[in-house]
Each structure stands twice: as C-alpha cells, then as structure tokens.
Structure 1
Amino acid sequence: MTDNTVVTGVLERAPIITRPRVGVALMFLMNGFLIGAWAPKIPEFASRLALSESGLGLMILVFGIGSIVMMPIGGLQIARFGSTTVTRVAALMALPTLLLLSLVGNVWTGAIAIFLFGGLIGAMDVAMNANAVTTEKQMRRSIMSSCHAFWSLGGLIGSASGGLLIAWLGVVGHSLLVSLLAAVMVGIAWPMLLADKPHPEEAKAKVRLPRTPLPWLIGVVALFSMIPEGAVLDWGALYFRNELGASVQLSGLAFGAFSLTMAAMRFAGDLVRDRFGAVRTLRFCTITSMIGLLTAGLANGPVMAMIGFAIAGIGISNMVPIAFSAAGNLPGMAQGIGLSVVTTMGYSGILVAPSAIGFIAEHTGLAAIFIGLPALHLVVLLLSGLARHADRAADPQ
C-alpha cells in the first residue's frame, strides 16, 4: 500500500530533468522566440503601414492592450480546463500571428493582427507559468527561474537572428521559417507537458476575480519588480548616450550587460531558491537590484553604469519568477486566477511605465530616474514575506 516514492513519510523529489520540465521549458522558449523575432520586424511593419512614430507607438500600445485583455481570460480558462490545455491551444493560435503581421496592408488590419499577437502571447504566458507551477509541485523543486531563463534565451535567439534572416529570406520568408521552428518546439513539447485537469470542486466553483487582497499584493511585487526592468530596456541606451556621453556602440551594451547577468542568474535561480528559500532569495535579489540601480544612477561614466546595470540584472533576474510561483500556489484559489492577476499587473508595468518615465525624465533627467527606482523595491522588501507561498511547490503534501 506504500508507494515506492515515499521514504520515511516524505515524498522524494523528482529528478532535476523530467519530461514535463522539458516540455514547459520548450513552451517558454517558443514564446520568447516569437517575441524576439517580432522586434527586428517592427521597422518594416511601420514602413509598410506608413506609420509615424506616434502611430507606431499606438500600435505597440495595442499589443499591450491585447495582452492585458487576454491574460485574465486565459486565467479563467485555466480554472476550467487546466493549464496544459490552455497552453497548447494558445500556442497553436499564436503560431500564425507573426505571419499575419507580415501580410497586413493597412492600419486597421495591422491593429487587429497586433492585438491578436499580443493577446495570444499574453494568454499563453499565463498558461505556461501556471503549468510551470504545476510542474514545480509534481517535482517538488523550483523550476520557475530556469523557465524564464529559457524565455530570455528564446528572445535572444529570435532577435539576434531576425535581421539576418529578413535580409536573406525577406519579411514573409522570415515569418514562415520562425513559425515553422516555433511549431516544431510546440510539437516536441506537446506530449511532454504535465496534464493538470482541475479538481471537480474547482470546475464547479464560480469563477471570478479574487476578493482577497493576497494576489493583488503579490501583483504589486511583480509590478514593482518589472518597472525597473522596463526602464533599463527602454531608457538604458539613451541614458548612456545622452547623459554619460557614450558612443552608439557602447550604448547598446547598457541593456546587454543587464540581460546577460539576468539570463545567467535565472538558470541558477532555482538552485538558489531551493537552498535558501523564496523569501530570503527575494530579499537578497531585491537588495542587489537596489545597489545596481543606484550604482548606475550615480555613475560618472558608462563603465560604472554598465557595472551597475549588470548588478541590477543579477537582482531582478529572480524577483518576477518568485512572484509568479507564489501566485500559482496561493491557498484556496485556482492557480489560473491568481496567476492572471499577478501577470497582468506585472506586465502592465512594462507597458505603462516607459511613457511615464519619459515624462518625468524630461524634467529630472534619467540619472534621477535610476536613483529613484529603488524606492519601488522598498515596497517589494516590505511585501517579501508573501514569497513564502512560492515554497509550497516544494513542500511535501
């Protein structure tokens, strides 16, 4: 009557590499790959539709609106059908959207295409994060940080290869190749994903946005973790060039230093979290990010600022994965609901913050922005105790 996985009453952890872990990592890789492949297509997209800078800005805003609209919808469907089904369906529906963006010929069809692209990528984002939480529970070990590392890797591959492939194959040829490669990733991952059909009581439960403050507070953690990430992404190079006197080539290293350390630490983050616990890891990462942002903001030259951004990348790397893992393990709540709240709040920071930062920077300068951003992390520190819910994935049941 005793299962052979039980030792002295405690369930053993699964091996580090399992089929479900490979499957969900491939989904993260595919999602990041599509996003990365879209980045080098933006100039051609704007030219084809004769968009001004403000027009392109509105289109990118439509992408964000699509994500914000579809993320909660994806979370509700997870509560009904499980994360595996929603991940697969969203991935299949997202596959042709990049090609659609390459074929549209006017502003209205372009707006529809980019809304669908952002929306389906966003819905898939919620679902694959929920599946990663389920896989963490099954394995009894942390995997969320490495999943996000694969997303970063996919984005790097998609963006780095995009320009060369567009020059070689053309815009439509590039989209066809990217869609084919993404389909291969989905096909390999499809049978590996851990199935997680909801329990009968969850399926019958009335689905609504949570009334408890817990997921909203964790959403604040995600939001205040992602705003600095978006600030470095959107304003780091301009800070290097305009305020630190860096060359164009050196300015490109601002986000490069940040993203390199962030990706590297995301691959190591699961081991760190399993060793020290989610709360201590989140606090260490938050303080490290604060030190990095202050170093960058107080820098007297590009080298010091680059070091600061690299330190900030180490810190920010595992803050959001811990918040997502905590959201998926909240007691008494279907994980899709909690995750949809936290992911929507988190990603809205990246979508909304850049314009607000630009407005403030006109009056204060970007150095003051990076000096001020650690104030958001003080809130994360105050709420860091909520990260204890992330450790429930590794606790024996």
Structure 2
Amino acid sequence: MPPLNKLAPSRSLARLRIALTVFFALDGFLFAGWVVRIPAIKEQTGASAGDLGLALLGVSAGAVVTMTLTGRLCGRFGSRPLTVAAAVLLSLGIALPAQTHSPLSLGLVLLVFGAAYGGINVAMNSAAVDLVVALRRPVMPGFHAAFSLGGMIGAGLGGLLATGLSPASHLLVLTVTGLVVTAAAGPVLLRAPSPPVDGGTGRAAAREGHGGERTARPGGGREDDRAGLSGRTRRLVVVFGVIALCTAYGEGALADWGALHLEQDLGAHPGVAAAGYSLFALAMTAGRLSGTTMLERLGQTRTLVAGGATAAAGMLLGSLAPTVWLALLGFAVTGLGLANIFPVAVARAGALAGPRGVATASTLGYGGMLLGPPVIGFLADWFSLPVALTTVAALAAVAAVIGYTARGTADGGTADGGTAEARAGGRRAPAGATRDERCRAEPR
C-alpha cells in the first residue's frame, strides 16, 4: 500500500491536471464559438470584406502583444493565476463583438478579445509545462487535444445555435458558460500546491551556468536570477518557435483554403468540401489524444521527425491528388502528422526558458497561423492553389529537419545544465540500472 504522503501529491497533481485540461478545452470552445458567428457580425456591422479583414487584425494584434508580455507576468505572478484571470477576460470579451455596429468599433473590441486569447494561451501552456515536469510524463499533447475537442464542440454547437439565436444572445451564452466553468475550475487551479519539480529541488539548480536558482512562488511564480538566459538558450527557444511556426502555418492554411481547394480545383460538393477541414481537425485531435503514448514510446525527436515527414507526405497528397477522396485522405494524414509537433515545440521551449520560452514559441507559432492564409493567397494568384498548398508540405518537412538537428536539446542535455527528461517529462532510469535499462528509460 503506497504511503499516504505519496498519495496526497499524486491526487493533487491529478486534480491540477484535470482543471488545466478544462481551461484548454474552454479556450478552444470559446474561440470556435466566436469564429462561427463572424459572418453574422460582418453583416451586423456592415463591413466589407476588406473592412472585416482589418477588424480581425485586432485579434492578432491584441494576441501578439499580450503573448509577449504574459511570459514576464507569469514569472512574476504565476502562470495559474494569470490563466484564471485571462479566462475571465476572454469570457467577458467574447460578448463584445455582438454589441458593435461599425468596423472600427469591432476592431477595437477585438483588441480586448485578442489580448485575452493570447494571454490565456501563454499562461496555461506555461502551467502545463510545469505539470509535465512534475508528472515526469509527456502529457502536453493531451492538453492540446482538449483544446481541439473544445473547438470542435464549440463550432458544432455554434452551427446549431446560429439558426435560432442572434449573435448577441449566442455570444452572451458563451460568456455565461465561460464564467461558470472558470468559477468551477479556477479554485482548483489556484489552491493546488505548486507541482514539485526534480524531487522538489526546483526546475534548475544551475541556471545558465551561473549557479542561480529559480525558486517557486505560491501559485506557480518564480524568481529568476538576474543573469537571465544565455544567448544559446534564446537561440534554442527560437528554434523550437520556428518549428511551431512551420506547423501552425499548415493549420491556418488548411482552415482558410482547404475547402476552396476541394470545391474549386476538384469539383467537390460544398458539403464534402466543408468536411475537409473537419476531417483534418478530427485527425489532429485523434493524434493528440495518442500523443503521450507516442512520446513515451518514440521520444521527442522521433515524434517531431515522424510527424513532420508524415504531414509533408499527407499534404503533397492533399494538394496534388486528382480526386476528392484522395485529397481528403491527404488532409487526414496531414492532421495526424501535425498533431503533436506544436505541443512538443512549446513544451521544449518552456522547459528551456520557462514562461518566456512558452511566450516566444507561442508568438512565433501564432504568427505562422496568421502568415499561412495570406501567403497561400498570394501564391495561388501567381501560380495555382494546389501549388500554393504544397508550401504546407515544404514547411512540415522543414520542421522535421529542424527537429532532427535539434535532437541534442530535445533528448539529452539542456542549456541549463539539467536533463531534458527532467524538464520534458521523460523517464529517469533508477539508480543502479544497467546500461541497456538506462538507454530504454531515456527519451529519444
């Protein structure tokens, strides 16, 4: 029978994991609920396509600015309190677009919405990185699977409610739902003790070779030594951010152009074309649900390389296939390939540099999602849409290559002098284990 003093921390971590999963799902649910009402909001505000595009930049601008700042705030106040605060702001902010009647006012309120969206993404990913280290299991894909599932539910429910509820009523329902969920899960997130890391000794005893310590604060905050991050660590964080960018580029491109490719280039029925992105999202969700098992069996480097190669092959099929059904198969394979690359990249950046690493990788990844649709549009004008979509395959292959070249940081040691398995949830071989046992225990 396990000692009681060991059972209590495990139960606390389990509750913390559940609460954090709820916030990931809530984030996806609320964002998808807003997205399905964009056409109605466009009509309500009388915005042209160009006006709407400019207004939607408010989401991007607010998110990017907040992502940049949230990493510092997490280090000072803790990632979990900021997760709860951002969830409240996101829930309140989602009701604002339905109260606007001009493109200018829509753009202004979307700044608030985007700020909350960017803040919660950095804060909850930072909290997830800490929990991954404490659990010593690579469970980050599970959190992102919850985000995907929340998005699918939000989009599906939003589509059903769109016929019977006005945008104002629908978004108000989302506000109430968000506040209720936050009120239920927030206290669990705030009251749970800080996850023990490396046996309770802190995330890194020797920060950047300067001997400084990062001591835990109540609520997940930390005190960093003034030496800060070394140039090598910053470069490594950017490397993993670029991996996130390469894969998020594909998500953005398929969301905006996948259905058009199926309908325009392959003659698919509008309903079948619309199902293309749903199939991609479903495959990505399934891939993330199995991501922890994959990481435990293959390790981070093999997961990154295999995922990038799979996505590249799938997108080549999806963009160049001569029939609709082969293209749909390609979309599904692409979703499976991309599923776990972004979570692994963000987790590695967070393991190397804490909340600031998460903020950098998330900002680059979000930039890739924003970059994809316009780049695809320009390339489609210059060449053709199928050719433009092959850039998704090219960047997925680039992510695989970068993941392989960064295998030293994804596997063995880190710039902080710690081990990656301690930071990314890898398994530690027991003392006295044989060489073969140690090799099997180390993440690959």
TM-score (norm 2): 0.82
Pairing of 1:185-200 with structure 2 (within 5 A)? 185-193=181-189, 194=192, 196=194, 199=215
Deviation at 1:187, TM superposition (A): 1.9
**3-state DSSP class of the match of 1:93?**
helix
1:394 and 2:425 are equivalent in the alignment: yes
Deviation at 1:376, TM superposition (A): 1.6
- String of CA shifts for 1:113-163, please: whole Å, max 9, x gaps: 111101111110010011111111121112211111111111111111113
- Cα distance in 2 between the residues matched to 1:305 and 1:155: 23
Aligned to 2:333: 311
- Cα distance in 2 between the residues matched to 1:217 and 1:196: 29
1:290 paired residue among 274, 287, 312: 312
**3-state DSSP class of the match of 1:169?**
coil
The one-letter amino acid of 1:161's match is L
- Cα distance in 2 between the residues matched to 1:343 and 1:298: 30
- Cα distance in 2 between the residues matched to 1:321 and 1:55: 34
In the alignment of these two chains, the number of paired residues is 388
- CA 123–187 in structure 1, closer or farther in 2 if over 3 Å, else same: same
Aligned to 2:347: 325
Aligned to 1:107: 103
**3-state DSSP class of the match of 1:18?**
helix
- CA 301–188 in structure 1, closer or farther in 2 if over 3 Å, else same: same
1:169 paired residue among 165, 172, 175: 165
1:277 and 2:299 are equivalent in the alignment: yes
Cα root mean square deviation, aligned? 2.6
- String of CA shifts for 1:326-345, please: whole Å, max 9, x gaps: 11101xx3x11001000000
8 Å Cα contact 2:319-2:327 kept in structure 1: yes
Q: Which range moved further: 114-123 or 175-184?
A: 175-184
- Cα distance in 2 between the residues matched to 1:51 and 1:108: 9
Aligned to 1:50: 46
- Cα distance in 2 between the residues matched to 1:362 and 1:338: 37
1:348 and 2:367 are equivalent in the alignment: yes
- Cα distance in 2 between the residues matched to 1:209 and 1:159: 40
Aligned to 1:203: 223
2:33 paired residue among 30, 37, 54: 37
1:228 paired residue among 230, 236, 250: 250
Aligned to 1:149: 145
1:22 and 2:12 are equivalent in the alignment: no
| Higher RCO, Cα 8 Å, sep 6+ | 1
Extract unaligned runs of 5+ from structure 1.
7-12
The one-letter amino acid of 2:73's match is Q
**3-state DSSP class of the match of 1:213?**
helix
8 Å Cα contact 1:22-1:192 kept in structure 2: no
**3-state DSSP class of the match of 2:165?**
helix
The one-letter amino acid of 2:42's match is A
Aligned to 1:90: 86
8 Å Cα contact 1:209-1:337 kept in structure 2: no
8 Å Cα contact 2:51-2:103 kept in structure 1: no
- CA 269–396 in structure 1, closer or farther in 2 if over 3 Å, else same: closer
TM-score (norm 1): 0.91
**3-state DSSP class of the match of 1:54?**
helix
Q: Deviating runs (4+, > 4 A) in structure 1?
A: 3-6, 13-17, 194-198, 204-211
8 Å Cα contact 1:84-1:196 kept in structure 2: no
- CA 183–200 in structure 1, closer or farther in 2 if over 3 Å, else same: closer
- CA 254–149 in structure 1, closer or farther in 2 if over 3 Å, else same: same
- Cα distance in 2 between the residues matched to 1:18 and 1:231: 36
1:241 and 2:237 are equivalent in the alignment: no
8 Å Cα contact 2:307-2:337 kept in structure 1: yes
8 Å Cα contact 1:84-1:195 kept in structure 2: no
- CA 171–278 in structure 1, closer or farther in 2 if over 3 Å, else same: same
1:266 and 2:288 are equivalent in the alignment: yes
1:64 paired residue among 43, 60, 68: 60
- String of CA shifts for 1:275-328, please: whole Å, max 9, x gaps: 221111111111111110111122011111000111111100111011011111
CA radius of gyration, larger in: 2
8 Å Cα contact 2:318-2:330 kept in structure 1: yes
- Cα distance in 2 between the residues matched to 1:124 and 1:396: 29
Extract unaligned runs of 5+ from structure 2.
196-213, 415-419, 429-444
8 Å Cα contact 2:47-2:102 kept in structure 1: no
**3-state DSSP class of the match of 1:68?**
helix
- CA 15–376 in structure 1, closer or farther in 2 if over 3 Å, else same: farther
- Cα distance in 1 between the residues matched to 2:163 and 2:296: 45
Deviation at 1:396, TM superposition (A): 6.4
- CA 139–297 in structure 1, closer or farther in 2 if over 3 Å, else same: same
